[in-house]
């Protein structure tokens, strides 16, 4: 069996739809993908929060889907009103994007986000799996960096050594690191590329070998740019869409 791993959808519905379409192609090629792990930042800075929620709702009805909170999801979950988002320590363009997400989700979408757990714990055969958005010690605000020395991942995995696999959402690049205690995997970022020239990615986890196949997806960014402008959202979001940073 295989598990689809995604993180950092960030309210980017075209990227999410492209990934789901690719998964259907993989199924036709023989991959048994019956479970999804979505490792946080389901909603975020791009203006498709409602479409993401509706698609997730359909996906959950037909599959085993485990979703956890990311940093932006946490902000939405804690906000009782849009005004609460004004108090967070984020740039103004992020606040405006998150207020748009809060409003477009409506009551049922916000309740879904509030019901998301912070950790993912699962068992595949005899292997214990642990998933988190940020880092094991700081599940929301932490960050695990890609392309680090093995000692970095050894230190990360040491207190988690009861688990064979640690899944991380906060690394914006695909990551598969081997340690003496177990393996660390991040699927990369689906909805918000970390920098210009990077592609959106997700991963397919082989449940027998516990290794990851990283999949790149393409989608039409112009559609998102036009929606950002149509909704009157900040121009910084367009720059993030194409370049991953300002």
- Asked if residue 61 belongs to a domain, the reply is yes
- Asked if residue 156 belongs to a domain, the reply is no
Tell me how far CA of residue 231 lies from CA of 53, 70, 85, 97, 241, in angstroms: 19, 24, 18, 10, 15
Q: Give per-residue pLDDT as tens, 168-187.
A: 999 989 999 999 999 999 99
Give the domain extent around 201: 2-120+184-243
CA-CA-CA-CA torsion sign (68, 20, 10, 232):
negative
State yes or no: pLDDT of 33 exceeds 80: yes
Output DSSP code: residue 159. G
State yes or no: pLDDT of 125 exceeds 90: no
**Predicted confidence band of residue 108 (pLDDT cuts 50, 70, 90):** very high
Place of tokens 């979950």: 77
Q: What are phi and psi of 228, to 5 degrees?
A: -55, -45
State yes or no: pLDDT of 195 exceeds 90: no
- Asked if residue 88 belongs to a domain, the reply is yes
| 100: Cβ contacts below 8 Å, ≥ 6 apart | 47, 49, 231, 233
- Asked if residue 96 belongs to a domain, the reply is yes
The mean pLDDT of 15-38, rounded to a whole number, is 95
- Ranges 28-32, 117-121, 191-195: which has the least confidence: 191-195
- Asked if residue 140 belongs to a domain, the reply is no
Q: What are phi and psi of 142, to 5 degrees?
A: -75, 170
State yes or no: pLDDT of 246 exceeds 80: no
- Asked if residue 44 belongs to a domain, the reply is yes
- Asked if residue 206 belongs to a domain, the reply is yes
- Asked if residue 217 belongs to a domain, the reply is yes
Number of folded domains in the chain?
1
CATH code (residue 214): 3.60.21.10
What does pTM read for this prediction? 0.95
Residue 39 burial by Cβ neighbours in a 10 Å radius (0-12, 13-18, 19+): buried
């Amino acid at each position: 069996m295989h598990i689809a791993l995604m993180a950092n959808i960030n309210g980017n519905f075209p990227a999410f739809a492209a990934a789901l379409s690719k998964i259907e192609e993989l199924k036709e090629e023989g991959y048994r993908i019956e479970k999804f792990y979505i490792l946080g930042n389901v909603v975020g800075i791009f203006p498709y929060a409602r479409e993401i929620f509706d698609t997730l709702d359909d996906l959950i009805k037909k599959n085993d889907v485990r979703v956890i909170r990311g940093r932006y999801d946490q902000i939405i979950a804690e906000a009782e009103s849009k005004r609460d988002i004004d108090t967070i320590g984020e740039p103004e363009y992020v606040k405006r994007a998150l207020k748009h997400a809060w409003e477009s989700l409506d009551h049922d979408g916000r309740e879904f986000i509030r019901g998301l757990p912070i950790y993912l714990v699962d068992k595949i055969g005899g292997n214990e799996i642990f998933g988190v958005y940020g880092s094991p010690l700081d599940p929301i605000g932490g960050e695990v960096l890609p392309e680090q020395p093995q000692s970095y991942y050894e230190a990360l995995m040491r207190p988690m050594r009861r688990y064979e696999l640690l899944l991380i959402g906060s690394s914006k690049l695909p990551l598969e690191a081997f340690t003496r205690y177990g393996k660390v995997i991040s699927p990369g970022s689906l909805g918000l590329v970390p920098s210009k020239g990077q592609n959106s990615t997700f991963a397919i986890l082989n449940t027998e070998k516990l290794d990851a196949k990283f999949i790149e997806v393409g989608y039409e960014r112009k559609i998102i740019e036009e929606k950002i402008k149509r909704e009157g959202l900040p121009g910084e979001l367009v720059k993030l869409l194409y370049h991953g940073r300002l």
